[in-house]
Amino acid sequence: MTNPSERLMTKIIQQLQAEQILTEQESNKVAVKILSGKIKAEDWRLAIELSMDKEVQNGEETYS
């Protein structure tokens, strides 16, 4: 059974993946840091930037 913090983290990660803000690989890295209690704002920013870079490299960038 997971605790409330783990359930919240899972929902946040899933939503960020659904919105294509984080890749699965970057989500896993962020999740580990969240669960360890050592995540910083810089970690979020880096994960999002790396995810966006991967989308552009894969030609998945969409323009709104």
* Domain-embedded: residue 50: yes
Average pLDDT over residues 47-60: 81
pLDDT band at 54 (very low <50, low <70, confident <90, very high): confident
CA distances to 33, 34, 44 from 41, in Å: 11, 11, 5
pLDDT digits (tens, 9 = 90+) for 11-21: 999 999 999 99
Q: Is residue 24 part of a domain?
A: yes
**pLDDT value for 2:** 83
In a domain, 53, yes or no: yes
The H or E element containing residue 46 is helix 41-57
- Whether residue 16 is contained in a domain is answered as yes
- Per the structure, the count of domains in the chain is 1
Q: Print the domain residue range for 9.
A: 4-57
In a domain? residue 62: no
Q: What pTM value is reported for the model?
A: 0.74
**Considering the domain boundaries, does residue 28 fall inside one?**
yes
The answer to whether position 64 is within a domain reads no
